[in-house]
Amino acid sequence: MGKHKTSMLQDVEAGRDPEIDALVGAVIELGRLTGTPTPHIDAAHALVKLLGRTMQEERIYIRAQPFG
């Protein structure tokens, strides 16, 4: 893929709330509808929501750095 940034990373770098609900929220909802536990997805969802809320409240901007 080369140097590609996901839409959620682009949101975070721009100081916007990550679009986690549309992407991951659907998986959580399907899990609940089918009685399938999704503990790891639930945790990731909660952490990204916390990141977004913290960024908004604290006016924090994040830039991703390549691993090297």
pLDDT value of residue 9:
84
- Report the C-alpha gap between 55 and 57 in whole angstroms: 6
- Report the C-alpha gap between 7 and 48 in whole angstroms: 13
Q: Is residue 63 part of a domain?
A: no
Give the CATH number, domain containing residue 47: 1.10.1040.10
Q: Count the domains in the chain.
A: 1
Q: Is residue 66 part of a domain?
A: no
What are the structure tokens assigned to 16, written together? 């916007």
Q: Is residue 20 part of a domain?
A: yes
Of the pLDDT bands very low, low, confident and very high (cuts 50, 70, 90), residue 68 is low
> 6-58 pLDDT, tens per residue?
888 888 888 888 888 888 999 999 999 999 999 999 999 999 999 888 988 88
Q: Is residue 1 part of a domain?
A: no
pLDDT value of residue 41:
95
Q: Is residue 65 part of a domain?
A: no
Q: Is residue 64 part of a domain?
A: no
- Within 8 A by CB and 6+ apart from 31, the residues are 37, 38, 41
pLDDT value of residue 60:
81
Range of the domain at 49: 7-58
